[in-house]
Amino acid sequence: MTNDMTTKKESSNTRCGYVAIVGRPNVGKSTLLNHILMQKVSITSSKPQTTRHQLLGIKTESGVQILYVDTPGIHTEEKKAINRYMNRNAKSVLRDVDVIVFVTDRTEWSKDDKLVAELVKLSPGRLIVAINKVDLLKDKTRLLPHLQKLQEIFPDTDLVPISAESGDNTKRLEQLIAGYLPESPFYFEEDQVTDRTERFMVSEIIREKMMRQLGEELPYALTIQIEQFKDEGKLVRIEAVVFVEREGQKIILIGKGGSRLKRIGTDARKDIERLLGRKVMLNVWAKVKSGWSDSDRAIKSLGYDDV
């Protein structure tokens, strides 16, 4: 969370506070945030570790302002500097939030879930466990024993089965969160939805399209840098560079005759135009930056500096 979040907006008889959405990779944290906000602020894909940065989503309603912090998935394997960065990023949020929403996936309970459980128990924030994707659970009789197991692990903790995709029971989750927030003036204007810049959101949209269209390994070897963001009124000109780690990855990313990179750019441009509400001229280039994901210096130079 950035330092400029400390100025409160004057108000009375209101509640306001920070809520960390945490969990292992690919449990639906970003999907949950997008559904709660009723608009897309956090990118999603079926691949684990899609989220790399903290992202603040702001919802103001009925005298309550909830500041949701979407976090990278916490995982036990820290093979590269980028993995260590994502874990530090997610863990740092737990130090000073009012509420923690620990998202799990149906009846699954992995070593990564156990790691998250150990971390949230150390946080001073009020804990809620959201059991996600229950609509996909074929054998519903397995849910009750799992809930009982979770209640033993987390005594006196609210357990809320939800579907972030369809929105089932998410209103109940929001009501619980609101009830645990302190009385406080609002931190942000009531119509603000995120603290992130348009430049950041654009880079994330491009990365999302690549996460969705490329194979299993390549998306983890790439990162996006916006080199130009020129607002000309009715038109925004954007130059984006995609860094990969090897020449072979660059060839795959570009595709035959540039076809794959062109398709990614076209899909990204449509979403960026919806985000900005203006026409966009988007150019996307591919470059090799060897070993960037395992270099602390490189990832910092590429904008991974939240913590």
CATH superfamily of 3-180: P-loop containing nucleotide triphosphate hydrolases (3.40.50.300)
Model confidence at 223, in pLDDT bands (50, 70, 90)?
very high
pLDDT at 5 over 50: no
CA nearest neighbour of 26 among 72, 81, 85, 64: 72
Count CA within 13 A, CB hemisphere, residue 288.
9
Model confidence at 9, in pLDDT bands (50, 70, 90)?
low
The domain made up of 198-301 has a fold known as GMP Synthetase; Chain A, domain 3 (3.30.300)
As beta bridge partners, residue 284 has 240
Mean pLDDT in residue range 68-93: 90
Secondary structure (H, E, C), 77-113: CCCCHHHHHHHHHHHHHCCCCCEEEEEEECCCCCHHH
Per domain, the residue ranges of the chain are: 3-180, 198-301
Tokens 């029971």 identify what position? 169
For the full predicted model, state whether its pTM sits above 0.85. Answer: yes
pLDDT at 146 over 80: yes
